[in-house]
Structure 1
């Protein structure tokens, strides 16, 4: 490996080592000494034979085990991002993985409001602010930092999700797996053990970034762009503006061409009940989009594209989804996102903010605002949107696909067995974080990591919710 001047400075700046001591009785992976960066994050030029350059992303998202990722920051940089995580500012760090060091990379905290609830010092959860108070916060690691050309197992970014909200640590992974089982391209998700500056942070969900690498992996016969959280139609039923489409682009931002997405939106803006289903057939894969709706509704992904939050009828919006615009084959694909609340509203509504008021395709209050108990979070029925209403018109297809999901996938032999496999994988790391972070803390509310007892209870709750979903009409 070629050693740059900065790399030499890196090694000169090592003033000591921190030994990561496993608190689990089991031997855990990669408990190796970690150098402390005091002065500069090294610039390491790969020699070209590193494993991360020769294998593709299937290695990262292999479902067979839990891998350890180490991040090394300058103390000042770690202090900087911890002082105000909600700024989501990148700082430099080194990524150490299975004997290879990728340095520098960019690292920032990430997430919507829910990712910071209870984890920053500010008191207004609707406008998170302040310093970091949780052990874990979701992070993005940018491999293509400072125009780096080499990818990490063919990836440009890594996303580590804290899963602080989900005590089972399984909902997100399970949700994406179910979409994939039904033939819907969805981010791959595994678990990862994360160590920062020699200190165990714990177990994270490592979930695939939806970007050009995702598009090339899942849509090998297509060519187009990724958009985040832009609906083709405004709440008024008109097609979105060019600016809205351009602002939502996640690929090809330098030379945006939104003409096909706009054509798609314009077609449905002008549609009626007579031709709407034909337009779906023209612009989408019917089996794929109806499968999407079936999974979304059966897992109660109530904070996704079918939840329209409204201040008034003109300002309704939805979120937590992406689009792939396949210009080559002239098809649009909806991609699921942010599933850490999957199944939570199955048995009962666990809060009065995210639940959707209607069953699939139904309309409440004549498309006026709906209030489920929290006036700050009114909503409108999803089927008031022309595009969603067009999908809801495929009643036979929806019923058949729902039956398939309930009878052939959400079974003890398939889904519960898969959950047991994952639970066995992550149990040693739940125990490790419990012992490492909760030593001497007896009050469950004050524990810094999910305790083993809380985790076991949450896994059993999720299993019961999955079993109940089989019976949903």
Structure 2
């Protein structure tokens, strides 16, 4: 069993099996469970827009048996749901599934006994219908609570997902919440909409029942590659990935302008150009352009979804996991990797990142990006629209100030968070960085104009 030194969450002295309406105290008598009143039936069919409106910071209370909570922490890497009773704003939600969540850079590192990375809190995921068929919460089956381990400002996901949406790119909604387990405060979390079948029905009402793939890129001729990454429609007998396979083949066998034409047959190129304008602006160094090199010469990017519209066959790119963005300092770890609009002479060359701990391939060698490179003026037009609109001077800085005012009390009360002075200093750095990011994109346009 892995050690749990990195989970600094005290167990409450609760009665095993108690419902979330019972009060209890944790270590030192500090934790108190919010009284949980009868279920509010309106929660199931509530408007998700209201949940993510960020007009205040709601509180979730979870109650588990002490032994269940201990086992969940000890076996967090398994990412298996356990039973928990939940309350939201003092109203009973009901029995649901609760687990930890994360990837290599978060959950796995927290349980690496050699590196002993301290993890005061971990991201969590809720599944409302894990034990109660058909149970919903604001019309959702699942909900993510991100610990914001790589975001000292606590505002990255709210701002970046909003920026994608402002540019006409489908992206999940995000707000904040505070979590308590058995009366013990876990602190402030980003509350992020899950990308699942409910999400696709909401975002693609005219094409709601297509296939959703997590981190599948059009680079393989192996149907098992796409099958392993399928997130919806798994129950369909004889599920086929022929469209994704054809998409990949179309890109692979074409070159130059023909490759752009192939990309146009399978995607909305203008939407991809807007996606990349935002992706570049927010310095998303751990997203679609980062092709990590495997020991066997393979490459893989992550932190995105592709949705296949069932009628049109169009593939829509959706961003995910954006806490690593909006930081000029972090972007420096990306090293000297060529921009995706550049194609090096040697596409087998590997570029060190993270101070040499990882290697990546140049994104400009990828078939999708080499296709998108054939219409760089379309991309630059998207950058101009962004700089004149949602990324214009002062706009995001005002958002930072507004959101900071909203979450300040929760940041101050977070038992595993930053000191308030440090948090405010990080916000000041972010606002300075926003100015630098804007200037970087403007230089990109100036360099392109000189090159033309």
Once the two structures are TM-superposed, the CA of residue 393 in structure 1 deviates from its matched residue by 1.8
Structure 1 residue 206 displacement after superposition? 0.6
Deviations 1:434-465 (A, max 9, x none): xxx3xxxxxxxxxx421111111111111111
2:100 is equivalent to residue 89 of structure 1? no
Gaps of 5+ in 1: 1-8, 24-29, 36-43, 234-238, 438-447
1:424 equivalent in structure 2: 405
Shift in Å at residue 330 of structure 1? 1.7
Q: 1:466 aligns with which of 404, 425, 434?
A: 434
Partner of 2:47: 56
Q: Which runs of structure 2 are paired with 1:35-114 in the superposition (5 Å)?
A: 50-114=41-105
SS in 2 for 1:416: helix
Q: Is the 8 A contact 1:22 1:432 kept in 2?
A: no
Report the TM-score when normalising by structure 1: 0.82
- Rounded Cα–Cα distance in structure 1 between residues aligned with 2:296 and 2:159: 34
Is the Cα–Cα contact under 8 Å of residues 128 and 136 in structure 2 kept in the other structure?
yes
* CA positional deviation for 1:99: 3.6
Distance 2:224 2:266 in 1: 22
What is the alpha-carbon distance in structure 2 between the residues aligned to residue 331 and residue 410 of structure 1?
Answer: 28
The 5-angstrom pairing of residues 350-361 of structure 1 reads 350-351=332-333, 354=334, 357-361=337-341
Question: For 1:15-34, what aligned pairs fall within 5 Å after superposition?
Answer: 17-18=24-25, 32-33=34-35
Question: Could you tell me how far 1:387 is from its partner in structure 2?
Answer: 1.2
**1:198-229, CA deviations, whole angstroms, 9 ceiling, x for partnerless residues?**
11111000111111011111111113111001
Q: Of 298, 302, 324, which aligns to 1:315?
A: 298
Indicate whether 1:134 and 2:125 are aligned.
no
Q: Is the 8 A contact 1:364 1:370 kept in 2?
A: no
Q: Residue 33 of structure 1 contacts residue 198 of structure 1 at CA under 8 Å; is this kept in 2?
A: no
Question: Residues 34 and 194 from structure 1, CA distance in 2 versus in 1: closer, same or farther, beyond 3 angstroms?
Answer: same
Equivalents in 1 of 2:234, 2:19: separation in Å? 41
The offset of 1:302, in angstroms, is 0.8
Q: CA deviation at 1:57?
A: 1.7
1:275 aligns with 2:255: no
Deviations, residues 110-138 of structure 1 (Å, cap 9, x unaligned): 1012223774462247xx9xxxx633210
Q: State whether residues 68 and 97 of structure 1, in contact with CA within 8 Å, keep that contact through their aligned partners in structure 2.
A: yes
- Pair 1:210-2:195 in alignment: yes
**In structure 1, C-alpha distance between the alignment counterparts of 2:387 and 2:20, rounded to whole Å:** 58
Question: How far off its partner does 1:309 sit?
Answer: 0.9
- Kindly state the Cα deviation for residue 370 of structure 1 after the two structures are TM-superposed: 2.5
Which residue of the partner structure matches residue 396 of structure 2? Answer: 415
Task: Answer whether contact 1:411 1:467 (CA < 8 A) is retained.
Answer: no
Describe how 1:114-153 pairs up with structure 2 within 5 A.
114-116=105-107, 119-120=110-111, 122-124=113-115, 134-146=119-131, 148-153=133-138
Q: Compute the RMSD of aligned alpha carbons.
A: 2.8
Structure 1 counterpart of 2:147: 162
Q: TM-score, normalised by structure 2?
A: 0.86
